[in-house]
Structure formats: structure tokens, C-alpha cells
Structure 1
């Protein structure tokens, strides 16, 4: 068997083993809240458990606390699900929030990619949760 056929066979087996189109799951436009925590004041509780339970950004002006690996955001803005030249993916993950400057950058990038390269649009994956976090 040729090297190319072996590579294609292995790739096909890997895709079959991964299951059917996980990245394309429809999810939900309206994220569902997670169940309440038994003890939300537990100091050993992971930050990801707290941040994942916030469905909306905090109110007030946009401000970032910390860094992109260990930080949060106040006053985040959500990018619209569908735009002239973009579409948000995996809506059920509720990760389409960011600093207003980041949202504006994504919109400009999508418009420029359409204008300069003829792209029909870009797919937007994870930006951030409503209040940032891990």
C-alpha cells in the first residue's frame, strides 16, 4: 500500500474514532445555567466553576483585571451571533464576549478579509466568557 493511502486510511480512522462532527454541534443560542454550587464560598473551589456560572457580563465600563491567562473582564461586550462578514460558532459555550476594542477589531478584520481577500466571512470561536476567567 502506498504511503499516501496509509496516511488517508489513518486520518479516516482518526476522524471516525473522534465521533461525528463534534465541532459542528448546534448547541443552543440561549445558554443554560449550571446547577448551583453546594458551597460557593469554599476556598478550594476552582475559579472555572465560578466563572462558568455567570451568563452575563458585569455592568459598568469595560476594564480588564490581570492577564489573558489569569484574568477577568468587567463590562464585556458580546459580538452579535451573525454579522455582515462573520458568524459565531459553538453558541452553547457562551464565549462570545470581549473588551469592546477586541469586538471592534474582529469586526474590522472580518470586513477587511472580505474586501481584500474575497472571503465570504470568518468563523469566530472562543473569545471569552462573559466575565473572562480561565
Structure 2
């Protein structure tokens, strides 16, 4: 414990010595520290111009804004996590979508789950992504009551829309869920939306011809049945933001049907030994285990003195 405190103190000096916004120099002990311990301890956003830095699973956000706990068409959930921060573009998206949902469905708005920490970066627990202020989880539970107390929002649970191990939807799913997802996916700021596989399959089977362009942004993913996960594109002015690769061409429905079939009928384990492969190409660091030496250098400059 004493060694960690000494490393944090040394990092504080390195940050204080940082001039002109450049990245501080780290010694070997600091470089090996996991970034989540520092970003997870930040309670408020950094100052300065809003900017996304790095990738969704290895990045940070400068000048983040806090989504108000309660608005006319939304409530932020699990306030104790302090994960209702994001780039201003994401805040605007949440507010715009919640108004549209309140206008076009019987829902009064949206319950908003995790966004990002005050300065982004890896989290102590939970998400691998949500680091750059461009990810937001939106609950599948229709928002009927927007006067919930903080304690209510700690105790209330969302609903699952999954059945058949994720290959299909259950009785909690409604056509209004589809309306909400379409409204989100047709927003030009959205890069992709992650949902449980059965949701994608239902949408593919029930969306008429001539109105299917938005389906390509709906991507089946493991989990994502208590909420759907919206990921925005890099906003203007964030030169150091790293985009995810574009979604494949087409509506993605054939791939979703095949994925559902594999869930229902997984292939038996092969008795053949795996074919030999060459050395794997090095991959960039991602997720909660990244060290301070692996995060984008500009992100280190957002950490406060300790």
C-alpha cells in the first residue's frame, strides 16, 4: 500500500510538471499502474474545451458535461456510480432522443444507465468501453415515473427482453421498443447500437421494405437485453478521437439470423486438433486492465493532482 501511495505521489509531481498540455513522463513504477484506479477516483470533469481522446475502450474525455439527474423526459439511474458524464454531443443526443420517445410512444421518456466517468477512462468495475464519453446505456424498462428518488433509482431494476438464450425476445418486448430503437438508430450522430441477438432478428422480420437503412446500425451482441448500448461517432473538433470501423454493408439481417441459429444449435466441439497458425498480430491495449503507459498520452494530462 505504501508503494502505491508513493507511486501516486510521484505521478502527481509528473502531472504538475506537465507544460503546455503535453503528456507527463512516467517512471517504471507509474507506467505499470492500472489507469482505472486513477480515472475511477476522479469526481468531477476536467476544465477546458470538450474533446474526445482515443478509442471507446482506451480513451478519455476532456471538458465532459454531467447529464442532470432528472429532466422533463429522462432520469439518470444508479447515481452512486457517478457515470452520468459524457461529451456534450452525447448529452444532447440523450435529451433529444428522450423528447422524441416521449412524443411518439406511451413512455414518458427514458431511464439512462451508464455513460462515462467524469474524465472518461477505464472504470474500476464493469464496462470495457464507455471510456471516451460517446457511449450510453438506455434501459429497456419503459420510463413511466420520472419522479423517482435517488434511492428508488438505486433499487429499481430494468427488464430483460431476452428469451431462448438470447436468440429471441420475450413478452416484455413491445412494438414501442422498436420505435425507440428506430428513433435512436436514425440519428446521424449514431455509429451503432448494441442489442441482444433476438432484438435484431425481430426488427429484421418486422421492418417493412423501404425503411430498412437504419437496421445496419443495430448490431447483435452478447448481453444487452436489460439495456441497449448506443455508440456515437467522433464529434467535430476531436482530432484525437479514434473511430470504430464502419458497419458492414447491408442490413445485417442474414448474419443476425445465422447468429441466432448458432445460439439455439451450437456446433459440437471438434475432435480435430486446431490448425497451426502464425504469431498473432499485436493488438492495441483495450479495456479495464490498461496501464498508464498504454493510455493515450493526452489522457494523462486530464488526471488531477493527488
TM-score by length of 2: 0.31
Question: Which residue is 1:28 aligned to?
Answer: none
1:87 to partner: Cα distance: 0.5
Q: Secondary structure at the match of 1:65?
A: strand
1:50 to partner: Cα distance: 0.6
Q: Secondary structure at the match of 2:80?
A: helix
Structure 1 position 116 matched with structure 2 position 101: no
Question: Which residue is 1:20 aligned to?
Answer: none
Structure 1 position 47 matched with structure 2 position 68: no
Structure 1 position 99 matched with structure 2 position 87: yes
Structure 1 position 61 matched with structure 2 position 49: yes
Counterparts of 1:1-134 in structure 2, within 5 Å, are 38=5, 39-40=7-8, 41=11, 42-134=30-122
Q: Secondary structure at the match of 1:57?
A: coil
CA distance in 2 between counterparts of 1:57 and 1:67 reads 18
TM-score by length of 1: 0.70
1:44 to partner: Cα distance: 1.7
Is the radius of gyration larger for structure 1 or structure 2? 2
1:91 to partner: Cα distance: 0.6
1:121 to partner: Cα distance: 2.1
1:118 to partner: Cα distance: 2.2
Q: Secondary structure at the match of 1:60?
A: coil
1:63 to partner: Cα distance: 0.3
Say what the alpha-carbon RMSD is for the aligned residues: 1.0
Q: Secondary structure at the match of 1:128?
A: coil
Q: Deviations over 1:18-40 (max 9, x none)?
A: xxxxxxxxxxxxxxxxxxx5131
Q: Deviations over 1:61-98 (max 9, x none)?
A: 10011011110000000010000011011111110000
Question: Can you give the 5+ residue segments of structure 1 that lack an aligned partner in the other structure?
Answer: 1-36
CA distance in 1 between counterparts of 2:96 and 2:59 reads 25
Q: Secondary structure at the match of 2:52?
A: strand
1:109 to partner: Cα distance: 0.4
CA distance in 2 between counterparts of 1:65 and 1:43 reads 19
CA distance in 1 between counterparts of 2:68 and 2:60 reads 21
Q: Secondary structure at the match of 1:87?
A: strand
